[in-house]
Structure 1
Amino acid sequence: MTATSAAPAKNPRGRQLAALNPLEQLKAGHLPRRLVQLYLGLILYGVSMGLMVQGNLGLDPWDVLHSGITEHVNLSFGTVAIIVSFLVLLAWIPLKQWPGLGTISNAIVIGLVVDLTIALVDRPDALWVRIVFMTAGIVVNALAGAMYIGAQLGPGPRDGMMTGLVRRTGRSVRLVRTSIEVTVLAVGWLLGGVVGIGTVAYALAIGPLVHVLLPLFTVRLELGEARK
């Protein structure tokens, strides 16, 4: 989903992710429900990241980058995630994309919540508990992603950069996403970020999980009203 005008993205079970500009997103109906779903999704996303950090069995590619950066600066994990989000948003300028409410909220809320989760949840010693943290983190991450994407109030900074590059270059989503994630994973690993079985599990599970969950949380919009 992008914040620019384009053909709507097909979604399983007949649902669609509409391509709307930021104003159209706010005018597309069901706003109270979509706002609740957006912010609940972002909060759960931050919690899922915190669980994976505390599980210490490996992170998703972007979080490997965040954890690698924290090895070299005196900043919290969440603060680094927020800074990286706004740096990524700078890449939207040449891509001629406009951030929506969900985009800016994504950049801020997730970082705040992941720091709160890390502060409140101790890192366990027992391996089985760490595996539970990792597994719960992946499942909750997929649920949270489906919720905030399905609210259709603007993509996250990283997803928006990916879809913008797809639109600009004409390359496939798979190629662009893989190229971005391999790059950030490599840079994060070189900086000392946490790579492990959780990184592999996330890569294998997140796509199928979101594929199943996204149709359940995609809100049908009133597109006629939005474009008046």
Structure 2
Amino acid sequence: MTPDSSPLGLANLGPIAQLRAGRLPERLVRLLAGLWLYGVSNALLMQSTLGGSPWVVFHQGASRHLPLSLGMVMVSVAVAVLLLWIPLRQMPGLGTVANTFLLGPFTDLNLHWLAAPESLPLRCAYLIGGVAMCALATALYVGAQLGTGPRDGLMTGFARRTGWSIRRVRTSIEIVVLACGVALGGVAGLGTLVFALCVGPITQFFMRYLVLRLEAPEEKLPAAVS
């Protein structure tokens, strides 16, 4: 493994190189499908009302101490996370822009279409489905290798620089973020703990099959793990 690749074969290419790395139509479809499913995941988790993701808990906690709305806190945190990309040498791309501008509308649409369940078993089903869908969505859009959103870029950047597995990095980040969010006064629930402990291993599983092999003759690129 080189410093510019992750254990799962994710290449760290610049924005232009990403677009020129082959199989672009297929990768664009995977990017958009992944972001759409990410919106479904967010809606399922929110409608379950069993606890938000660790990042939601962190945003809620931070908003208690800053003269900013929750939405502005989310934007500020995203910018701060993007700054952490610099020492990690994580490259942005079309997926970074798409994540920024499409994930919110996709979440809103699915919230409009998904009715909030009343029974506890159905709420638990929403929670489990939301966690699994988040992992699948992450693997799809990150595996398209067109750039990640701010928080997923933190995951892939640390995995590439440390050589740790996606499972280990993602779970570690979620637990740290959750602990900080609770310390700041954010409200966690059963769903928050389930998300923090399970999303990393499930993402690792899906990414083994969904990271696409890139074709760039001018660069030697790592292959995805089969």
- Length-normalised TM-score, structure 1: 0.77
Q: 5+ residue gaps in structure 2?
A: 221-226
Describe the shift of the 1:80–1:124 C-alpha distance in structure 2 as closer, same or farther (beyond 3 A).
farther
Q: 5+ residue gaps in structure 1?
A: none
Q: Residues 52-72 of structure 1, C-alpha deviation per residue, up to 9 Å, x if partnerless?
A: 011011232112223546778
* Map of 2:23 onto structure 1: 30
Describe the shift of the 1:61–1:68 C-alpha distance in structure 2 as closer, same or farther (beyond 3 A).
same
Contact 1:81/1:111 (CA < 8 Å) preserved in 2?
Answer: no
Aligned-residue sequence identity (percent) comes to 47
* Pairing partner for 2:133 from 140, 143, 152: 140
Aligned pairs, how many?
Answer: 216
1:123 partner SS: coil
Alignment of structure 1 residues 19-58 onto 2, 5 Å: 19-58=12-51
Contact 1:85/1:157 (CA < 8 Å) preserved in 2?
Answer: yes
- Amino acid in the other structure paired with 1:43: W
Alignment of structure 1 residues 28-107 onto 2, 5 Å: 28-68=21-61, 74=69, 81-93=74-86, 95-107=88-100
Shift of 1:122: 3.5
Measured in 1, the distance between the counterparts of 2:150 and 2:119 equals: 35
Q: Does 1:125 align with 2:122?
A: no
Q: Residues 75-111 of structure 1, C-alpha deviation per residue, up to 9 Å, x if partnerless?
A: 56xx764553234213334555431111222223222
Measured in 2, the distance between the counterparts of 1:209 and 1:167 equals: 19
Shift of 1:144: 0.5
* Map of 1:6 onto structure 2: 3
Contact 1:57/1:194 (CA < 8 Å) preserved in 2?
Answer: no
Describe the shift of the 1:104–1:24 C-alpha distance in structure 2 as closer, same or farther (beyond 3 A).
same
* Map of 2:192 onto structure 1: 199
Contact 2:175/2:196 (CA < 8 Å) preserved in 1?
Answer: no
* Map of 1:113 onto structure 2: 106
Q: Does 1:213 align with 2:206?
A: yes
1:224 partner SS: coil
* Map of 1:150 onto structure 2: 143
Which segment drifts farther, 17-26 or 157-166?
157-166
